[in-house]
Structure 1
Amino acid sequence: MWVPALSQQTLAFVESARPLGASFPIAELKARFAAWVIKGEMQLPSEEEMRKDIARFEKDLEVRYVGAVGYSNRVDYLPHLDELAGQVGCKPNLVRYLLFDPVLFWHLMFGPGVSYQYRLDGPHTWPGARKAILTVEDRTRQPFGALKTTTKTSKEISICSINIWFMWVLIFFLMTGLSYAVACAF
C-alpha cells in the first residue's frame, strides 16, 4: 500500500490487493488508513521495517502459491482486514464481546465476515454496526423471498444476551469444577 522509499508518505495504493473475497471493504479500510497517515494522525513504521514486512509477505506468497504466476498481490479477505484494522485501531475486541455481549460475539465468530465489525470499536465507530451485524442474514435472505425477516427488537436481543451470558458462566463453573476434580484425583 505504501512505497517505503518516499521521504513523505503522501501516496497510497488503496486498491492494489487482489483479495480472495470482496474488494470494497478492503479499499474502504485502506482509505481510512491512508487518510490517517496523510493527515499526520498515524505514523508508519520505518523504511527498514516496511521493507522487512514486504519481504515477509512475498515469502509467504511464494510458499503458498508455489510456481504460480500473478499472485504477487493476493490477500486473504478477513486476515488482511484484521491486519489493517489492527493498524488503524478498529479491530473488534473479541474478549470484551465474549464477556459482555455474547450474542454479538457469536455473530462475529460464526456469522458471515462483514465489514461492519470494523465500525464497532476505534475511530469512526458507527452506532448501527451491532444491529447490522445481528441482522445481516435477514437482509441477505429478504430479496430472495425465502424467509420473512424476523428482526428482533433490542429487548429480545438483550434478553438473549443475558441468557447466553448465564450459559457462559455455567460452562465456566462446570469447567472449573471439573478441573478441580481432576487435580484432586492426581
Structure 2
Amino acid sequence: MGCLTLLLLVILNVRGIPCVLPLLETLPLAGHKHRPVPGSSHNISKNDPGVQNAVLVSTYTFNNESNDIFFFRVYAIKVAQIQIVKGIKYVLEVTISRTICRKSMSPPSLDKCPFQPEGALQQMFNCHFEVWAIPWKHWSKVTSFVCHPPSRLLPTGSEVARR
C-alpha cells in the first residue's frame, strides 16, 4: 500500500468515514504513475541488452536440444517480459526459423546465417522461453521452453470440396 493511500485511510478513519480499501486502491493519486507490483512481470523493450542476451541463450538451447541438421535463429520477438526473482526472469515469445547453416559447419555467429528460402526446407516455430539470469555473476539458464509450428488456418468446407 502506498504512503499516500495509507495517509488517506488515516484521515478518513479519524473523521469517522468508513473505508473501502479496494475502492481506494483504484483511485489515481496526483503525480503518481502506475508502477508494476514488486515481483510481478512486466513488458520490457525487445531491444534491451538483457532481452537480447536471453534470446541468444534461448536460441542456443533450442539448437542444442534439436535433432535438426540446420541451426535455427530468431525471426521475430513477439513479447518480452521481465520479472525480478533472485535475479532476473525473462519471459519471451519468439518465432524462430531454420537457417541454411548446418550444425556440422559451426557458424561463427547465428546472425550471419541466412534463413532458409521459401520451400520444403523452410521451417518456423513459435516458442515460449523462460530464462533466469543473474547478471552480476554473468550467468543465465533457460528454465523452460515450449515450441510448436505456427497455427495454420483450417480449410473451409468449399476448399475441402475442391481438393
TM-score, normalised on structure 1? 0.20
User: Which structure shows the higher helix fraction?
Assistant: 1
User: Which structure shows the higher strand fraction?
Assistant: 2
Larger Rg computed on CA atoms: 2
TM-score, normalised on structure 2? 0.22
